[in-house]
Structure 1
Amino acid sequence: MRWPVKVKILIPGRVKFSFVKEGVWFYQERLKHYLPFELQEKKISRTKDASETKQLEGQALLKGLSPGSFKIALDERGVLWDSLTFARKLEELLTAQRELNFLIGGAFGLDEEVLKTADLKLSLSKLTLNHEIALLVLLEQLYRALTIVSGEPYHK
C-alpha cells in the first residue's frame, strides 16, 4: 500500500557515523515504496554552553516543521509502545491525512519549546540513545510498521 501522506524526520546536524549513513540509506529506499519521505539534517552552530546549543537546535528544528503537520517529538519521557501498537497508531495518523514530522534532539535532548509544540511525545526505549542511533531505530520501526499495516512478512 502506498500512502499519500509525507513523513519528515528532522535532526540537528548531519549524520556522521558511516554505519548509520548506510542504515539511513537502506531504510530510506524502502520507505519510499510506502510514502513520500524526507530527512532534514538541520545545520546548527554549536556553542560550548549546553543549554544554548539545545535552544539553537530547537529553533532550527521548529523552523523546519511543515505547517499543519502532526508533530512527534522523540523523548525519553514519552509514551513507549511495542511495534504492533506503533503500527496501529501510525496507520491512524496516516489515515488522518496530515503530514507527520518526527523531531529528534541532539546530545542534550530536545528544547522545551520543541516539546511544548509536539502533538505527541514518543519514546523509542527506556535506554538513552545517541541521536544518530535513535534516527536509525526510528527508521527501522517506521519500515516495520508500514509492512505490518500492509500485511507484508517483515515483522515476525
Structure 2
Amino acid sequence: MKITVVCAGKLKEKYLREGIAEYEKRLRPYADVRTIEIAEERMKEKPSAAEKADILRREGERLLAQVPQDAYLIVLDVGGAELSSEEFSAKIDTLTVGGRSHIAFLIGGPFGLADEVRRRADLRLSFSHFTLPHQLIRLFLMEQIYRAFKISRGEPYHL
C-alpha cells in the first residue's frame, strides 16, 4: 500500500514534527508513506471574495499537481463525511480489496480549499465540525491511518 499526504505549508512546531515522525515510523510495516509539502499561499489581511477565490484556486492547482495520477484522493474538508475509526479502516480495506493500492490525502492551507479541489476528491473527509489548525490535522491524520491498519489486522492498539 502506498500513501501520499499532500499538504500546504511546512510544519513549524517541533512537537508536531516529532509526533508525525513517530506515526510514520509505526506505519512502515503497513505502508509506504510519503509526505509532499507545498508552500502556502499568502493572503492579505482583508481580501475581497474574488482575491480569496483566486488565491485558493492557485494553491489548489499546486496541491492537485502533486497528487499521483493513480491515487484514490481523500481531501480533508470540514464539510466532508465524518467516519468512525472503524469505518475509516473499513474504507481503506475496501479500496485495497478493490485494487486501489495508492491513497492520497490532501490537506489545504489555513484559508481552506478551492471548490476545484473538493470536486476532484474521490472522498471528502472531516475529522470534526470544529475548525482545527491544518498542521494539527496532519498529526490526527497520521494517527488515524495507523489506527486503521491496526484495526484492519485485529492488532491491539494502545497509546
Question: Considering the TM-score relative to the shorter chain, is it more than 0.5?
Answer: yes
Between structure 1 and structure 2, the one with the greater Rg is 2
Using structure 2 for the length normalisation, give the TM-score: 0.89
Identity %: 38
Which residue of structure 2 aligns with residue 18 of structure 1?
A: 14
CA drift at 1:129: 1.1
Counterpart selection for 1:96 from 75, 82, 98: 98
Correspondence for 2:70: 68
State the partner residue of 1:145. 148
d(CA) in 1 for partners of 2:3, 2:97: 13
- Match 1:39 to one of 25, 35, 40: 35
Quick one: distance in 2 between partners of 1:71 and 1:97? Answer: 14
Q: How far apart are the structure 1 equivalents of 2:84 and 2:93?
A: 14
Alpha-carbon distance in 2 for matches of 1:147, 1:78: 24
After TM superposition, list the pairs within 5 Å mapping 1:50-61 onto structure 2.
Answer: 50-61=52-63
SS state of the match for residue 155, structure 2?
coil
Considering only aligned residues, what root-mean-square deviation do their CA atoms show, in Å? 1.6
Q: 1:155 to 1:90 in 2, by over 3 A?
A: farther
Q: Report if aligned partners of 1:12, 1:60 keep a CA contact under 8 Å in 2.
A: no
2:118 aligns with 115
Q: In the aligned structure 2, how far is the partner of 1:26 from the partner of 1:43?
A: 23
- Residues of 2 paired with 1:96 and 1:68: CA distance? 13
CA drift of 1:137 comes to 0.5
Q: Given residue 142 of structure 1, which amino acid in structure 2 is its aligned partner?
A: I
TM-score by length of 1: 0.90
Please list every run of 5 or more consecutive structure 2 residues that lacks an aligned counterpart in the other structure.
Answer: none
Superposition deviation, residue 155 in structure 1: 5.9
Flag the 1:79–1:155 CA change in 2: closer, same or farther, 3 A.
farther
